[in-house]
Amino acid sequence: MIGRKKIAVSFHNFWGSFDAETSYFTRALRDRFDVKIVRTGADVEFYSVFGRNFPDDVLSSRALKVWFSCEAEDPRDLIYDLYFNFHDEPLLGRRAVRLPLWALYIDWWTPGSVLSIERLLAPRHYTPRPKFCNFIYSNPVALRNEFFSRLDRLQHVDSFGKVLNNMGFRAGDKLKTIADYRFTIAFENVKSYGYVTEKLLEPLAAGSTPIYWGPPDSRTDFNPAAFIDATAFPSLDALAAHVIELDRNPDALRTIAEAPIFADAIPYEMTPSHFVDRIEEALDTPAMRGHGDLLNPQLASRRNLKGRLRAGFKKALRKLSV
């Protein structure tokens, strides 16, 4: 692309289904740069938490080292130049940026999709939903499992996930599935400062009222009038009783269902433009560069060696089992 700066970027230790080409990061950067994805980034290297191995040449790379985590885990192993995390860290100043996972789930580039910015900001209209409540999880977290059980005793809750499945099959299209329900149990895996994920965004987008358990940041990221805040109740039984009462009061349910998803427009700090601005600032500001050079090469080398040994061991076991 003529006139656009070219940058080479790489991605390390991201989740298994991660596709660099179609990722939020690449699509956001391509709004401003001509991006080439390579094995080891000459300009920017992105790191996440799904693995602890690094290419050997990363130790000598002069690229901007950028951390991102969609899980409630802090940076580890290396020292990074720039941190995009579910919470901020004032001690790191402008090098630390809050980028909660829900912001990555918005479809910033496809007008008209369920998670498009236009639909999320449009006025909401109450539509009666034929089914009561759903529960779709693959991670067995005790608190939300217990709430499912308490609510299910009062009125049947449909569970489509790996955990506590009572439907005999898994949900295919999650957003399409939950759109049939008046309520969605939307508990985070953990309650950690800043950790607000798609678990709150998706039911709101689908028109199902979330029963949400998570950090206080949820009440500033989203409009608190648009969901049920589980942390406001003295017990799981009180929360379950409130849901049943609300389900019997169509006018009250309509008020919640018609509340805007966001109290105001989505803040600039949650947009792809802000993400790219921070990357560009770090690339252009010498004082924000070079912190990644403080990584511990001995530690990283040990991680790489352990990773290669594990991979070799698994390969040998596969051969023996043939």
pLDDT of residue 51: 82
For residue 128, is pLDDT > 60? yes
pLDDT of residue 299: 54
pLDDT, tens digit, for every residue of 89-106? Answer: 999 999 999 999 999 999
pLDDT of residue 295: 58
Please give the share of the chain, as a percent, with pLDDT higher than 70.
92
The two tokens of residue 280 are: 């560009």
Average pLDDT, integer, range 70-98: 89
pLDDT tier for residue 297 given thresholds of 50, 70 and 90: low
pLDDT of residue 57: 75
pLDDT of residue 275: 98
Please give the share of the chain, as a percent, with pLDDT higher than 90.
76
Average pLDDT, integer, range 132-151: 97
The two tokens of residue 44 are: 């920017």
**Residues spanned by CATH 3.40.50.11660 within the chain?**
108-258
pLDDT of residue 204: 98
Write out the H or E segment, with its range, that includes residue 271.
Answer: none
Q: Is 3.40.50.300 the CATH classification of the domain at 6-104+269-321?
A: no
pLDDT of residue 319: 73
In this structure, which CATH number among 3.30.300.280, 3.50.50.60, 3.30.450.40, 3.40.50.11660 belongs to the domain 108-258?
3.40.50.11660
Greater pLDDT, 181 or 292: 181
Q: What average pLDDT does the structure give for the chain? A: 91
The two tokens of residue 53 are: 């191995």
Average pLDDT, integer, range 298-309: 59
Edge-to-edge strands of the sheet including 228-229?
158-159, 131-135, 181-187, 209-213, 228-229
pLDDT tier for residue 207 given thresholds of 50, 70 and 90: very high
Distances (CA, A) of 164 to 88, 155, 240: 35, 15, 18
Q: Give the Cα separation of 22 and 100 in Å (integer).
A: 19
Average pLDDT, integer, range 141-158: 98
At position 201, the amino acid (one-letter code) is L
Q: Give the Cα separation of 274 and 262 in Å (integer).
A: 18
Which pTM value belongs to this model?
0.89
For residue 261, is pLDDT > 80? yes
pLDDT of residue 210: 98
pLDDT, tens digit, for every residue of 214-249? Answer: 999 999 999 999 999 999 999 999 999 999 999 999
3-state secondary structure of 292: helix
Distances (CA, A) of 184 to 120, 260, 298: 18, 17, 47
- Dump the DSSP string for 196-245: --HHHHHHHHHT-EEEEE--TTHHHHS-GGGSEEGGGSSSHHHHHHHHHH
